[in-house]
């Protein structure tokens, strides 16, 4: 049963009050929370260049506007280095992470972000019209992002393995991978559904030339990982996300890209 609007508003206010009280009372200034930002478009786009682009930037802005106790800041990292940065305390949080990506042995507290995306296969429309085109990858040239974990490859990101087993070309650009497919220099690229939506919005002429698969390589259910001793408790961060969900800001940030808000947090 859906709670009445008044009850929902009251519960949100109570939650926000609990978060406020949980903030360190001794802090004369805002408590800084360092969020690792690895290139993962459209979530995070070239953070090392300081461009301030991507959905993570919008999320951080929303979190900072929401409350005065914590100041969330982005710390550039990389896909390969993000867990070591978290363990060494260079960052307090890794974000938009998935359980299959190898963080079981990393000391952390996980916070369900209530966001779902999917990795899809993309081919030229002229090629993908044949039935079952995406079902069998044998003999096809793949364009992949170096360092990413793919379900079809058993989440093994080793470049040598991907090149030898799947005839893969590895790059550091999803745009380049899709353009390789469009130009016929690769048969299939793998990108998130959100990135494909963003790419087509930026390159409308590609809409008729590229076709995403109905087959999903993996479903992303995003989590944030907080290191032990992080300056914000996991429960407080989860509460802030819940407030953003309740007031509609989470949906306004992510839903335009096809990223779904899950009905319930795990």
Residues 113 and 224 grouped into a single domain: yes
Residues 39 and 45: beta-carbon distance below 8 Å: yes
Count of beta carbons in the 10 Å neighbourhood of residue 158? 11
Helix axes 55-66, 234-246, angle to 10 degrees: 100
Residue 253 to residues 49, 55, 110, 166, Cα–Cα distance (Å): 22, 7, 22, 35
Residues 23 and 86 grouped into a single domain: yes
Q: Pick the residue with more confidence: 19 or 149? A: 149
pLDDT tens digits, one per residue of 180-208 = 999 999 999 999 999 999 999 999 999 99
d(CA 3, CA 8) in angstroms, rounded, equals 6
The DSSP line for the chain is -PPPHHHHHHHHHHHHHHHHHHS-TT-SSPEEEEEEE--BTTTBB-GGGT--BSHHHHHHHHHHHH-SSEEEEEEE--TTTHHHHHHTTS-SEEEEE-GGGS-TTS--EEEEEEEEEEEEEEEEHHHHTSTTTTT--TTPPEEEETT---GGGTT---HHHHHHHH-EEEES-HHHHHHHHHTTS-SEEEEEHHHHHHHHHH-GGGTTTEEEEEEEEEEEEEEEEE-TT-SS-HHHHHHHHHHHHHTTHHHHHHGGGTPEEPSS--
d(CA 108, CA 130) in angstroms, rounded, equals 45
pLDDT tens digits, one per residue of 4-52 = 555 454 455 455 555 454 555 444 578 999 999 988 889 998 887 765 6
SS (H, E, C) 229-243: CCCCCHHHHHHHHHH
Q: Is the pTM of this model over 0.85?
A: no
Residues 160 and 208 grouped into a single domain: yes
| 95, part of any domain | yes
Q: What is the CATH number of the domain that holds 202?
A: 3.40.190.10
Residues 27 and 124 grouped into a single domain: no
| 178, part of any domain | yes
| 181, part of any domain | yes
List residues bridging with 192 in a β-sheet. 119
Residues 10 and 89 grouped into a single domain: yes
| 99, part of any domain | yes
| 266, part of any domain | no
Segments forming the whole domain that contains residue 138? 118-219
| Least confidently predicted of 27-31, 65-69, 72-76 | 27-31
pLDDT value, residue 1: 45
pLDDT value, residue 266: 58
Residues 66 and 49 grouped into a single domain: yes
Residues 111 and 231 grouped into a single domain: yes
List residues bridging with 37 in a β-sheet. 76
Residues 163 and 31 grouped into a single domain: no
Residues 183 and 66 grouped into a single domain: no
pLDDT over 80 (residue 178): yes
Residues 250 and 181 grouped into a single domain: no
* Total structural domains within the chain: 2
| 139, part of any domain | yes
Residues 174 and 226 grouped into a single domain: no
| 39, part of any domain | yes
d(CA 21, CA 13) in angstroms, rounded, equals 12
pLDDT tens digits, one per residue of 135-148 = 999 999 999 999 88
Residues 113 and 146 grouped into a single domain: no
Confidence band, pLDDT 50/70/90 cuts, at residue 2: very low
pLDDT tens digits, one per residue of 220-238 = 899 999 999 999 999 999 9
Length of the chain as a residue count: 266
How high does pLDDT run on average in the chain?
A: 88
| Least confidently predicted of 86-95, 113-122, 255-264 | 255-264
pLDDT value, residue 23: 53
Q: Residue holding tokens 């952390």?
A: 108
């Amino acid at each position: 049963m859906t709670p009445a609007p008044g009850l929902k508003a009251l519960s949100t206010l109570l939650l926000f009050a609990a978060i406020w009280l949980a903030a360190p009372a001794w802090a004369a200034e805002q408590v800084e929370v360092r969020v690792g930002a690895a290139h993962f478009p459209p979530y995070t786009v070239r953070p090392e260049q300081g461009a301030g682009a991507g959905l993570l930037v919008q999320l951080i802005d929303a979190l900072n506007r929401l409350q005065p106790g914590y100041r969330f800041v982005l710390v550039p990292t990389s896909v390969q280095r993000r867990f070591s940065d978290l363990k060494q305390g260079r960052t307090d949080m890794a974000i938009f992470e998935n359980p299959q990506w190898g963080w079981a042995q990393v000391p952390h507290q996980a916070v369900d972000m209530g966001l779902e995306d999917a990795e899809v296969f993309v081919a030229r429309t002229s090629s993908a019209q044949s039935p079952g085109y995406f079902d069998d990858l044998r003999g096809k040239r793949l364009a992949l992002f170096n360092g990413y974990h793919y379900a079809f490859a058993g989440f093994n990101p080793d470049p040598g393995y991907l090149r030898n087993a799947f005839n893969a070309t590895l790059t550091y650009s999803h745009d380049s991978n899709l353009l390789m497919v469009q130009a016929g220099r690769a048969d299939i690229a793998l990108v998130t559904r959100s990135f494909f939506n963003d790419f087509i919005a930026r390159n409308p002429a590609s809409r008729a030339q590229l076709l995403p698969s109905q087959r999903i390589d993996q479903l992303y259910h995003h989590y944030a990982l907080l290191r032990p001793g992080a300056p914000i408790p996991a429960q407080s961060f989860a509460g802030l996300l819940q407030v953003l969900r309740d007031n509609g800001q989470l949906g306004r940030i992510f839903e335009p890209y096809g990223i779904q808000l899950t009905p319930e947090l795990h």
